[in-house]
Structure 1
Amino acid sequence: MFGETLAAFPESRVMDGFYGGADRIEAMADHVLERMPARAALLGHSMGARVALEIIRKAPDRVERLALVDTGVHPVKPGEQEGRYRLRDLGRAQGMAALVAQWLPPMMGDAAARDDALMARLTTMCVSAGLVVFEAQIEALLYRPALDALLPAIGCPTAAIVGDQDRWSPVAQHEAIAAAIPGARLHVVPDAGHMLPAEAPDAFNRIVAQWLTMPAADQPGD
């Protein structure tokens, strides 16, 4: 997912996506806090963005700046649990490859979905994570903490980044996120879906470079 971003920013680090097998966002945040530098620019994608927000709640002094990528801040929606459990049950019955074959394509932008090499790499990534990790992560998402009161209190430079073809976490969600966080900037990448960092890495990395130089003075009250 972040291979080209790591190459472009060699000083960056990726925290493992499995969070020690944790099945709650709060525990995932603790896992990262134990391993991240004392202070860092923190970028989270999808569920990882919710983990990043929990880190902000727990230890705001450790986050220099924040990027929330292809994500949401809404509570559990009607029918969400049933949909996630249908995928879980498909994986239990037919294996992880069958689960990923159903779950991944709708996540992709139109061009990326036709890129066989990219789809093969992402499929391998997801399948290799395994069903145990998938089950832990959907439980974490279904019991995710509320965020409404947190967003207006965020005081570090923040970017909300999304692909314009993200049908899972659409642009409107990121518009709302940017509106709720003081001074936050919204970036919409054309022709990319939910897997934006892998689908459009050059465009994504340009935005990351901007975010890393986003001055704190942009924040109201500074």
Structure 2
Amino acid sequence: MVWVPGLMCDRTVWAPIWPAFEPFFINRVADHRQADSLVRMAEQVLEAAPTRFALVGHSMGGRVALEVCRLAPERVSSLVLMCTGCLPLPPAQAGQAEVDKRMGLVALAHSQGVRAMALEWVKGMVKPDRLDDQALIETIVAMMARQSAQIFENQISALIGRRDSSPVLTGLRIPCQIVCARFDSWASVAQHEHMASLLPSNTPVEVVPDAGHMVSLENPGATIKLLLPFLLQALHQGPNDALHEPAPCTPP
């Protein structure tokens, strides 16, 4: 199984839920630090992954996962999309506002360092009442601070240049799960309901309570209860090499 982390995230984002999956899956984390487009990130996933695999994408990683499905749908056995989206940059003023906000963070990362940027960015990334949770906030900030301002700029460029993945969703013929968080200020429940409506199967939106965008760090127990049964059921619905074929992605 390949896990695709989001913007400036690494294996840390999955750490609290990992033990629940280790008895059942060979788990690998995608590494897209050297890419500056979602398509290239998806290509790197495919280059490192086994022939057929389950795929979990969070935030930007969800958009990368959709690009993987666009490029090689026959290789993905099941798909989980978490706290993500499928639409391109909006037109006109709304799109420019998003670009300005993102590039403001890039400028902050270059001028004051990634840690300073992360301390600002994290304010909208967790449920508001968790902002005083020093251990949680430090975990997120330290994870981002391990990467460079240039990596951040590259990933922001990738997000700004994202394509419309709606046609990918309408064409999927594999088990899919859509997961969001009740207090996610970046990827709303309504946004996920729109994605679910595009799937050919009747796929409900699973909502994690008491969590914001960093759902697996904020509410790992609820995240496990949603993902693990779905992925195990999908595993037994058809052939899946994820258990049997090692992948040279970055190990957990």
- TM-score norm. by structure 1 comes to 0.92
Is 1:137 equivalent to 2:155 in the alignment? Answer: yes
- Tell me if the contact between 1:110 and 1:192 (Cα under 8 Å) persists in the aligned partners: no
In structure 2, C-alpha distance between the alignment counterparts of 1:16 and 1:112, rounded to whole Å: 28
Shift of 1:20: 4.5
1:1-222 equivalence runs, <5 A: 1-10=13-22, 11-17=25-31, 19-77=32-90, 78=95, 79-183=97-201, 184-214=203-233
Kindly state the Cα deviation for residue 158 of structure 1 after the two structures are TM-superposed.
Answer: 0.5
RMSD, aligned CA:
1.7
Q: Distance between the aligned counterparts of 1:202 and 1:36, measured in 2? A: 27
CA distance in 2, matches of 1:146, 1:15: 24
CA deviation profile, 1:7-59 (whole Å, cap 9, x unmatched) = 11113423244x15110111000000011121111000000001100111111
TM-score (norm 2): 0.82
| C-alpha contact 2:166 2:195 (8 A) present in aligned 1 | no
- 2 CA distance for matches of 1:15 and 1:161? 19
Contact 2:169-2:195 at 8 Å conserved across structures: yes
SS for the counterpart of 1:4 is coil
d(CA) in 2 for partners of 1:127, 1:46:
18
Listed as ranges, the gaps of 5+ residues in structure 1 are none
Amino acid at match of 1:115: D
Distance 2:27 2:33 in 1: 17
**Structure 1 runs (4+) greater than 3 angstroms displaced:** 213-218
Shift of 1:70: 0.3
Does the CA contact (< 8 Å) of 1:91 and 1:131 recur in 2? yes
The answer to whether the Cα contact below 8 Å between 2:37 and 2:158 also exists between their aligned partners in 1 is yes
Letter in 1 for 2:28: V
Please say which of residues 26-35 and 183-192 is displaced more in the overlay: 183-192
Q: Tell me which of the two structures has the higher relative contact order, counting C-alpha pairs closer than 8 angstroms and 6 or more residues apart.
A: 2
Distance 1:97 1:217, change over 3 A: closer
Cα offsets for 1:156-210 (capped at 9, x unmatched): 1101101100000111111111111122231001110000011100100111112
| Aligned residue pair count | 217
Q: Is the 8 A contact 1:111 1:191 kept in 2?
A: no
Unaligned runs of 5+ in 2: 1-12, 238-252
Distance in 2, matches of 1:160 and 1:153, equals 15
Q: Which amino acid aligns with 1:127?
A: A
